[in-house]
Amino acid sequence: MACSSLTIALNNGVQMPMIGFGTFTIQGQSLITKVLDAALASGYRSIDTACVYRNETEIGKALKDLLPKYKLQRSDVFITSKLAPSDHGKERVRQAVLDSLNRLNTPYLDLYLIHWPGAGRIASQSPSNKNLRIETWLELEKLQKEGKLRSIGVSNFLESHLKELFAFCTIKPAVNQVELHPHFPQKELVVFCRREGILVQAYSSLGGHSSHLLLADPAVQKVAKKEGKTVSQILLRWALQQQIGVIPKSTHSERIKENIRLDFTLSSESMSALSSLKTNQKYAWDPRSVV
Ligand SMILES: NC(=O)c1ccc[n+]([C@@H]2O[C@H](COP(=O)([O-])OP(=O)(O)OC[C@H]3O[C@@H](n4cnc5c(N)ncnc54)[C@H](OP(=O)(O)O)[C@@H]3O)[C@@H](O)[C@H]2O)c1
């Protein structure tokens, strides 16, 4: 059974589906329309994109045709986009948001994230990153108050970046979207975000471009066999069962369907087996160098 109705209230009361559809590296109108058709048919009601994915226009066009096909309104889907690192700073943020809204053909976004704590074309060790982050966040707060963004959040933020933001923000981030899977479980960050009321949303739950490594891990396969589910399903369920959102990406209809069929419970033994793997490996970009 699909888990399309599973939602969580963010710290501002906005309801967010716990399972969304990731679209990184999916480009071109026919492919975007095909995968979103499969995603909506399977029950996904949340779509994750970003300016840097260069697919917002195609997503906007696809939804224009697909929402009526599934008798859905704009308000029935939760759309997330993200600020490109090159658009940090007071002068650029507003225009970047307006451009995303225009490309996605929508008057508002449900969630908008600072994609990366560092600014484009600035060294990760430069103190300018902090100043630009402050300017960016304050402008996003204004855009939320104007109703253009229903929720605002961050992505790839470490505890240090979040603590710095708490010192000047008047709106706390609703979400921190980070790489998270049993090879890189980020346990301390999860505890910190939970304590601060920030929802952790996992990306690259299946290992991202290194999914062959995570999906082939014998310990993960053993749990999948024991639970009678696919490896992908137990990786996603492992996150959900810890109140961590997921946004799996696939271009294959049968996998898209499989990845939302998460209406089962992993035993505590399976949960701890997945939470105590020996491998500690990050597969995506690493924010630890960004001051
Ligand atoms: N904020 C950030 O910095 C950031 C970074 C990375 C990703 N993200 C977001 O998170 C989303 C998910 O992360 P991701 O794209 O890195 O990858 P992912 O969800 O970990 O998926 C990795 C690969 O697994 C394959 N796959 C999917 N379902 C499968 C299944 N049931 N069985 C076997 N293989 C399967 C897919 O290939 P096929 O397409 O061939 O099925 C996919 O390329 C992205 O699309 C994006 O929206 C955010």
Which atom belonging to ligand 1 lies closest to the Cα atom of 255? 31
Which of 46, 177, 206 to mutate to test ligand 1, by most ligand atoms within 8 A of the CB atom? 206
Rounded distance from Cα 20 to ligand 1 centre (Å) = 11
Q: Are 223 and 270 in contact (CB under 8 A)?
A: yes
Q: What is the pLDDT of residue 178?
A: 98
Which of 19, 24, 113, 290 to mutate to test ligand 1, by most ligand atoms within 8 A of the CB atom? 24
Rounded distance from Cα 267 to ligand 1 centre (Å) = 25
Catalytic residue among 53, 112, 203, 283: 53
Q: What is the pLDDT of residue 278?
A: 87
> Does some domain include residue 16?
yes
- Name the H helices within 15-171: 29-42, 56-69, 90-104, 128-145, 159-166
> Does some domain include residue 255?
no
> Does some domain include residue 280?
no
Q: Which of 243, 230, 235, 241 is nearest to 210 (CA)?
A: 235
69 CB contacts (<8 Å, ≥6 apart)? 37, 40
Number of domains in the chain: 1
Rounded distance from Cα 251 to ligand 1 centre (Å) = 9
Pocket-forming residues, ligand 1, beta carbon under 6 Å: 22-24, 48, 115, 155-156, 177, 203-208, 211, 215, 232, 247-252, 255, 258-259, 284
Residue with tokens 């996003």: 140
Which residue type occupies 279? T
> Does some domain include residue 65?
yes
Active site residue 53: yes
Cα–Cα distance measured from residue 287 to residue 129, given in angstroms and rounded to the nearest whole number = 12
Torsion over CA: 98, 101, 104, 109 (sign): positive
Per-residue pLDDT of the chain (291 residues; tens, 9 = 90+): 677 679 999 999 999 999 999 999 999 999 999 999 999 999 999 999 999 999 999 999 999 999 999 999 999 999 999 999 999 999 899 999 999 999 999 999 999 999 999 999 899 999 999 999 999 999 999 999 999 999 999 999 999 999 999 999 999 999 999 999 999 999 999 999 999 999 999 999 999 999 999 999 999 999 999 999 999 999 999 999 999 999 999 999 999 999 999 999 999 999 999 999 988 999 999 999 999
Q: Are 151 and 144 in contact (CB under 8 A)?
A: yes
Q: What is the pLDDT of residue 86?
A: 96
Cα–Cα distance measured from residue 137 to residue 169, given in angstroms and rounded to the nearest whole number = 7
Q: What is the pLDDT of residue 1?
A: 63
Q: What is the CATH number of the domain that holds 73?
A: 3.20.20.100
Rounded distance from Cα 204 to ligand 1 centre (Å) = 5
> Does some domain include residue 69?
yes
Which of 203, 244, 246 to mutate to test ligand 1, by most ligand atoms within 8 A of the CB atom? 203
Cα–Cα distance measured from residue 216 to residue 231, given in angstroms and rounded to the nearest whole number = 8
Per-residue 3-state assignment (H helix, E strand, C coil) for 148-208:
CECCEEEECCCHHHHHHHHCCCCCCCCEEEEECECCECCHHHHHHHHHCCCEEEEECCCCH
Q: Which domain holds residue 190?
A: 11-208+241-250
> Does some domain include residue 80?
yes
End-to-end CA distance of the chain: 44
> Does some domain include residue 226?
no
Q: What is the pLDDT of residue 249?
A: 98
Q: Whose CA is nearest to atom 8 of ligand 1?
A: 203
Helix, strand, coil share (%) of the chain residues, nearest 5: 45, 15, 40
> Does some domain include residue 57?
yes
Q: What is the DSSP letter of 39?
A: H
CA neighbours closer than 13 Å in the CB half-sphere of residue 28: 5
Rounded distance from Cα 208 to ligand 1 centre (Å) = 5
